[in-house]
Amino acid sequence: MPDTYDVVVIGLGPGGEALATGAAQAGLKVLAVDKHLVGGECPYYGCIPSKMMVRAADTLAEAGRAAVLAGDVSVTASWAPVARRVSEEATSGWDDTIAVRRLEDAGAEVQHGVARLDGPGRVTVELPDGSTRTVVAERGVVLNPGTRPAAPPVEGLDGTPYWTNRDALRADTLPGSIVVLGGGPIGCELAQVFARFGVRVTIVQHGDRLVPASEPEASAILQDVLVAEGIRVLTSAETSRVTYADGAFTLTIDGEDVVTDKLLVAAGRTPNLDDLGLETVGLDPSARRLDVDDRLRVEGVDGLWAIGDVTGRGAFTHVSMYQSGIAQRDLLGQDGSPADYHALPHVTFTDPEVAGVGLTEQQARDAGLSVRVGSTPLEQSSRGFTHGPGARGLVKVVEDADRGVLVGATVVGPAGGEILGLLALAVHAAVPVAMMRTMIYAYPTFHRAIETAIGDLS
Ligand SMILES: Cc1cc2nc3c(=O)[nH]c(=O)nc-3n(C[C@H](O)[C@H](O)[C@H](O)COP(=O)(O)OP(=O)(O)OC[C@H]3O[C@@H](n4cnc5c(N)ncnc54)[C@H](O)[C@@H]3O)c2cc1C
Ligand SMILES: NC(=O)c1ccc[n+]([C@@H]2O[C@H](COP(=O)([O-])OP(=O)(O)OC[C@H]3O[C@@H](n4cnc5c(N)ncnc54)[C@H](O)[C@@H]3O)[C@@H](O)[C@H]2O)c1
């Protein structure tokens, strides 16, 4: 007889781990399965280690700014403390013992293994010793399998020892040069980190601008800054071929050969949906995402919830966590607000940070809204002026003029993600722009530039 649980969670990314914890604490019998590390990509190969690297690189940049602001500072950059922090403090040597114990203490049963659906309410788990167990989930199954790095279709790439985020975040030494294929958040954050540690960096971006999900003005500022820091940025660039010999990669980019020590592929993600047994419940295993309703129930299948990157609602830890709370309440039969993404924030942790919430100007126009925009350069604010080097940035707001509320905003600048907080609340709560005009903005803060941007609405 298969073991019976109330809930089986497949994949323990940030949301799956939180849901398994919460459901177990609420008294449900929970089986939590992950084929690798409990916590998923974010704590081991994503947000946390990358932000430690960003912090280190920003420290170097600030030291470099001292010459203008505070006198001579001499820093000999070393990757060793960065690699040590990532290995010891962030990931405990890529070991999830503590996370497993935390989940077990909450009352869940934790199982390492590859889980697959085996028809409605049934899951098989392939255990590390090669054996298999089948379990029944009486209340439901929650899918949180996340994504893996996508390999773009470039001739020769497959046979080469290229890096993905997993290798880059485990690096204990840095190469002399690196080509970063992909100018999204992963590519830009890591490119700037490596460049600030002295690596010769080239970013090769398919599209015509970096971080294309952000406003074009934000992309332009980021590109200017990266280029000024010595990064070669190739946009609208096509890599047709990659070879690897004698410890070096050769990429053919728009007909030109570029030779590099390392190649980091950060060209998007592939959802881990292809080996999940989706076909056993009538779903398409080649789908790019799972369609879920506003309670995170997978459409068309009773007793199945999905959360995280595979729902296609934004590949961010805060989305995974947000959805987790809603799915957990639904599983427990509790009331609560349905999922709503109109004020989804995102921050790319480059320096300057590129932060956004809600709709871009173009998205608002495409949605047929009556759009007014306002913007202001951050370096021209009083705080930007006193800040001096490193203050390059922007605040841009997008208003639905018919309703008189902001539907989107962008902040580029030092601590751009923190400045965004005020605007995220405004979009979330539909605070009238008229009310935002009457607010007192502390002088001289960066967020005071929001008042200027609102004053520019036209
Ligand atoms: C370099 C990098 C930096 C990032 N920085 C940020 C950031 O600053 N801020 C931010 O919000 N987001 C960031 N992200 C994105 C963030 O990591 C993800 O959005 C986040 O991890 C949420 O993913 P998830 O919940 O879908 O699952 P994931 O974290 O991807 O975890 C999925 C888990 O499922 C397991 N799994 C998959 N299939 C199976 C199976 N069949 N059986 C058992 N287990 C399975 C996997 O082993 C994994 O542990 C970053 C990502 C990367 C790569
Ligand atoms: N700070 C953050 O919140 C943060 C940081 C890193 C990652 N993430 C999340 O992880 C996800 C994955 O990040 P990502 O940067 O890998 O993906 P992405 O899809 O956001 O960006 C990948 C970029 O690579 C480009 N590209 C694709 N194929 C290419 C090719 N052959 N040559 C050159 N360029 C190519 C695309 O045009 C795209 O702009 C993101 O969607 C993001 O949500 C978030």
Q: What is the Cα–Cα distance from 242 to 25, expressed in whole angstroms?
A: 51
CA angle in degrees (0–180, nearest 5) for 423-427-433:
80
Q: Where are the beta strands (DSSP E) in 167-225?
A: 177-181, 200-204
Return phi, psi of residue 371, to 5°: -95, 135
Amino acid at the residue 7: V
CA atoms 315, 318, 322, 325: torsion sign: positive
Mean pLDDT over 338-356 rounds to: 98
pTM over 0.90: yes
Instruction: Give pLDDT, residue 458.
Output: 83
| pLDDT interval class at 32 (50, 70, 90) | very high
Mean pLDDT over 244-269 rounds to: 98
ipTM of this complex? 0.98
Q: Whose CA is nearest to atom 16 of ligand 2?
A: 268
What does the block give as tokens for 143? 């899918």
Distance 315 CA to ligand 1 centre (A): 8
Cβ burial of 160 (10 Å; 0-12, 13-18, 19+) is middle
Mean pLDDT over 127-140 rounds to: 97
Instruction: Give pLDDT, residue 91.
Output: 98
Cβ burial of 395 (10 Å; 0-12, 13-18, 19+) is buried
Tell me the three state secondary structure of residue 330. helix
H or E, element range at 3: strand 3-10
Buried b (16+ CB within 10 A) or exposed e, 100-117: bebbeebbbbbbbbbbbb
Which residues are bridge partners to 234 per DSSP?
A: 204
Q: What is the Cα–Cα distance from 31 to 10, expressed in whole angstroms?
A: 9
Is the model's pLDDT at 124 over the cut of 90?
Answer: yes
Is the model's pLDDT at 452 over the cut of 90?
Answer: yes
| pLDDT interval class at 265 (50, 70, 90) | very high
| Ligand lying closest to the C-alpha of residue 186 | 2
What does the block give as tokens for 338? 């349905």
Percent over 70 (pLDDT), the chain? 100
Domains of the chain with CATH codes: 3-39+96-148+270-331 (3.50.50.60), 165-267 (3.50.50.60), 345-455 (3.30.390.30)
| pLDDT interval class at 263 (50, 70, 90) | very high
For residue 34, give the ligand 1 atom closest to its CA: 44
Instruction: Give pLDDT, residue 216.
Output: 98
Mean pLDDT over 359-379 rounds to: 98
Average pLDDT value for the chain: 98
One-character DSSP codes across 97-159: HHHHHHHHHTT-EEEESEEEE-STTEEEEE-TTS-EEEEEEEEEEEE---EEE-----BTGGG
Q: What is the Cα–Cα distance from 118 to 158, expressed in whole angstroms?
A: 32
**Tens digits of residue pLDDT in 165-211:** 999 999 999 999 999 999 999 999 999 999 999 999 999 999 999 99
What does the block give as tokens for 12? 């323990």
Mean pLDDT over 313-320 rounds to: 98
Instruction: Give pLDDT, residue 249.
Output: 98
Mean pLDDT over 440-450 rounds to: 98
Nearest to 413 by CA among 361, 377, 382, 360: 377
Is the model's pLDDT at 433 over the cut of 90?
Answer: yes
Q: Which residues line ligand 2 (CB under 6 A)?
A: 152, 154, 181-187, 189, 204-207, 212, 239, 266-269, 315-316, 346-349
Mean pLDDT over 113-123 rounds to: 98
Is the model's pLDDT at 359 over the cut of 90?
Answer: yes
| pLDDT interval class at 1 (50, 70, 90) | confident
Q: Whose CA is nearest to atom 31 of ligand 2?
A: 152
Q: What is the Cα–Cα distance from 267 to 150, expressed in whole angstroms?
A: 6
**Tens digits of residue pLDDT in 203-232:** 999 999 999 999 999 999 999 999 999 999
Q: Which residues line ligand 1 (CB under 6 A)?
A: 10-15, 33-37, 40-42, 45-47, 50-51, 114-115, 144-147, 165, 186, 272, 276, 308-309, 315-318, 320, 349
Instruction: Give pLDDT, residue 388.
Output: 97
What does the block give as tokens for 454? 């609102």
